């Protein structure tokens, strides 16, 4: 029985030491990796300039994201759509937790 207790204590101590050593080494690496005194090298500056040029060239080719007109929210029981021949047109969006019934054209 005593050998089991000694073995358990030894195992706990080794796990504690391993955790402390791992935390110490990760702390040292993070302070080295994120040193604020480093200045970008010339190759990094060239890469940044090239990326800015490419972004400038392609920016006018692709339209910017424009928000569509906001559709108002409907309460439960209100009309949310209208039938226009074979198509259904949206009047408003149903509030969260409800959906527009395509047969009744109301928020349920």
Given a cut of 50, the residues of the chain with pLDDT beneath it are 27
Stretch (H or E) spanning 37: none
Return the CATH number of the domain spanning residue range 73-107. Answer: 4.10.40.30
0.85 surpassed by pTM: no
> Which two tokens mark 87?
């198509």
Provide DSSP, 63-108: PPP-PPPPPPEE-TTSB-EEEETTEEEE--EEPTT--B-TTT-BB-
The pLDDT tens digits of the residues spanning 22-31 come to 655 554 555 5
Comparing CA positions, the residue from 90, 108, 88 lying closest to residue 99 is 108
Residue 56: the pLDDT is 80
């Amino acid at each position: 029985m005593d050998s089991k207790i000694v073995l358990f204590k030894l195992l706990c101590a080794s796990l504690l030491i391993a955790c402390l050593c791992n935390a110490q080494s990760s702390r040292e690496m993070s302070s080295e990796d994120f040193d604020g005194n480093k200045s970008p090298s010339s190759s990094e500056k060239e890469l940044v300039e090239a990326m800015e040029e490419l972004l400038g060239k392609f920016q006018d080719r692709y339209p910017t994201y424009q928000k569509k007109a906001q559709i108002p929210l409907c309460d439960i029981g209100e009309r949310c759509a209208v039938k226009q021949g074979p198509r259904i047109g949206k009047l408003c969006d149903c509030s969260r937790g409800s959906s527009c019934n395509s047969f009744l054209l109301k928020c349920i």
